[in-house]
Structure 1
Amino acid sequence: MRDLVDDLLAWSGEGRRFAVASVVGVSGSAPREPGAALAVAEDGTAVGSVSGGCVEGAVYELCLRSLEEDRPLLQTFGYSDDEGFAVGLTCGGIIEILVWPNTAEPAFRSYLEALAADKPVALARILPPASGDPSSLTLEASGEATGTFGDPGVDRLVTAEAAAMLDTGVTGVREVGCDGLRMFVQTYAPPPRLLVFGAIDFAAALTRAGRFLGYHVTVCDARPVFATRRRFPDAHEVVVDWPHRYLERAPVDARTAIAVLTHDPKFDIPLLERALRTEAGYVGAMGSRRTHDERSRRLREAGLTEAELSRLRSPIGLDLGARTPEEVAVSIAAELVATRRGGTCHPLASTSGPIHALTR
């Protein structure tokens, strides 16, 4: 939805009615993940995509129908479904599409404004047939909620579930209450941060890989001759400061990854002492096994516990036999993905079962 926000705010400002179709569920080799959206204005203008082309035409017609009938619609397309096959979903997957017509409600406007401001936000909608009136609820990270489903009990349940999903950045369908009420919660959070310490050639390669993976990448080094925009054109930020001092003021949460590539004790020790006590989901440090052993000894002397030290991924990266900066960047990037998604790091050919775990 983030890529549609400018168009939708413009349509809303012009008073144009429009419907939004969202992917709410997928299984198998479906082309898009939950949250992918297509919007259609009442004059037929369309923006976005829900399937990369497979069922776009059918979903477009659903949007127009939803606008005409002024009610939400829920439809499933799949390979085994004659209609799904007819419209081109031959990849073997199944997608469930929710179309929502009442996009003038305050909750949806609040959601769009939060997206435009790049703020974390969740939008919750009750799925048909239980939805009745197409109402929704928007929840911001601050806890501020806009909208109601007309029942304080349902509002509390939805708000609690949406808050948990927003905290972990999960988009999908959940059941709330004891009546099997199904809701779709679409969450948005700014890109995760990758903090790269050490302005060396390995850092330049990792910066490129991190940006490719969708991270907001910062490179930090205390040496101004090395920490330059010219050397790191792919970084979103290049900071000249002592690494531990920068980390003390940098925003860090569970989605943040920290890569320490300096392998110099005067930088590493004070930096890792702080990094391992943050909420960062990944902390890795470059160096040989001898360097790691010596670094661990110094960190213990600095007061870190074994539990805190166990969070350190050192030597950094997966064992790919990497040697060049680009190869090392791939090994670190692979470890980042595996950590974030819960991967086993085993070759897929040696495993069985679903390739994509449902909860990742």
Structure 2
Amino acid sequence: MTWSESQPLPWHAALHHLQREARPHALASVVGTAGSTPREPGAKMVITAEAVYDTLGGGTFEFQVIAAAREALERGDGGPHLEAFPLGGRSGQCCGGYVHVLIEVFGGADMCVALFGAGHVGQALVGLLAPLPWRVLWFDSRADAFPAGSESQPRLSCRRVETGPEGPDIEAAVASLPAGSHALVMTHDHGEDRQLVDALLKRGDCASIGLIGSDSKWASFQRRLRDAGHDQATLDARVRCPIGIPGAKGKRPYEIAVAVVAELLTLKPATDQDDRRGVSPETLRDAFSAPNPRDAAS
């Protein structure tokens, strides 16, 4: 059965599916309570922009947790942070207890890769990308081009390029891409490859464009692309051909695929390197320091 966000799953099942698909979500966990509270430490709930799975007890307190999680998702926050909920003061609930909730935000896929071509190199690439938290949109204009069972791979979407009397609808396929995609062009047809590069350049918001082929193929393409209105400076700056990390050797499909994935890793956005991320050390120290028995006795 295909999973969707409308299913009433327990938090652990929803977390598994969302992690597997690299979709943005937050995990809210009750980590400390005092007094009368709706749920005990260890209670968990998963929140996305559209859905909620499981419960921390309901009421205004739960609505506030959901709102805090969705605000963090919308801001693109990463990692965990603690939220304090005095149920009488902040949440207006008559039980009057106190709850600390750890909200862990998972931002979804690190990158989106648009792969045009389901040939030998494309198939090797998809296998190498499978363990990575990247979303992959796989296109081909040929019937039955995708290997059986491809759609079962996490984060992979196989998309047939519609073909009409004038050939494949390249413009529609390119228009369907999310902004900031890393496009890789390696179809079975040089004409399709050239049309794709032309459409991708005209779109203008791809994070990168890679074209499989030799220096002579790229030289031929450049002449046609300049005739189509693209200046040489744009071609030099926006298109990589041949693709693959510099210095890589080998012409086997798997060897080329390894070089391409290594090159994509160099294009991956840098992560925040701030030494102080997530819950502050001071907060953790105060939360987990054992009280002095002499202080309690006094």
Is TM > 0.5 for Structure 1 vs Structure 2?
yes
Deviation readout 1:33-60 (Å, 9 max, x if unpaired)? xx9988654xxxxxxxxxxxxxxxxxxx
Tell me the distance in 1 between the aligned counterparts of 2:189 and 2:110: 29
Query: How is 1:119-138 mapped onto 2 (pairs within 5 angstroms)?
Result: 122=76
Tell me the distance in 2 between the aligned counterparts of 1:107 and 1:185: 15
Letter in 2 for 1:244: I
| Contact 1:258-1:284 at 8 Å conserved across structures | yes
% identical aligned pairs: 23
The question of 1:305 aligning with 2:226 is answered: no
Letter in 1 for 2:158: E
Query: How is 1:284-295 mapped onto 2 (pairs within 5 angstroms)?
Result: 284-295=210-221
Gaps of 5+ in 1: 11-34, 42-62, 71-102, 136-147, 149-183, 343-355
Other-structure match for 1:358: 273
- How far the C-alpha of 1:251 sits from its partner, in A, is 2.9
TM-score of the pair, normalised by structure 2: 0.56
CA 1:239/1:109 → structure 2, altered by over 3 Å: closer, same or farther?
Answer: same
The question of 1:195 aligning with 2:114 is answered: yes
The question of 1:217 aligning with 2:136 is answered: yes
Greater RCO (CA < 8 Å, at least 6 residues apart): 2
For the pair shown, the structure with the greater C-alpha radius of gyration is 2
The question of 1:339 aligning with 2:256 is answered: no
SS in 2 for 1:104: helix
Other-structure match for 1:83: none
Query: How is 1:172-187 mapped onto 2 (pairs within 5 angstroms)?
Result: 186=105
SS in 1 for 2:130: helix
- How far the C-alpha of 1:295 sits from its partner, in A, is 1.1
Query: How is 1:51-200 mapped onto 2 (pairs within 5 angstroms)?
Result: 63-64=31-32, 67-68=33-34, 104=61, 106-110=63-67, 122=76, 186=105, 188-189=107-108, 192-200=111-119
Tell me the distance in 1 between the aligned counterparts of 2:132 and 2:254: 14
Tell me the distance in 2 between the aligned counterparts of 1:36 and 1:222: 33
| Contact 1:197-1:260 at 8 Å conserved across structures | yes
Other-structure match for 2:251: 323
Gaps of 5+ in 2: 1-8, 15-23, 37-59, 91-102, 163-167, 275-298
CA 1:258/1:123 → structure 2, altered by over 3 Å: closer, same or farther?
Answer: closer
Letter in 1 for 2:177: P
| Contact 1:259-1:284 at 8 Å conserved across structures | yes
Deviation readout 1:259-295 (Å, 9 max, x if unpaired)? 1012733101221111123311121000011111111
Superposition RMSD on alpha carbons, in Å?
4.5
The question of 1:230 aligning with 2:162 is answered: no
Other-structure match for 1:60: none
Aligned length in residues? 213
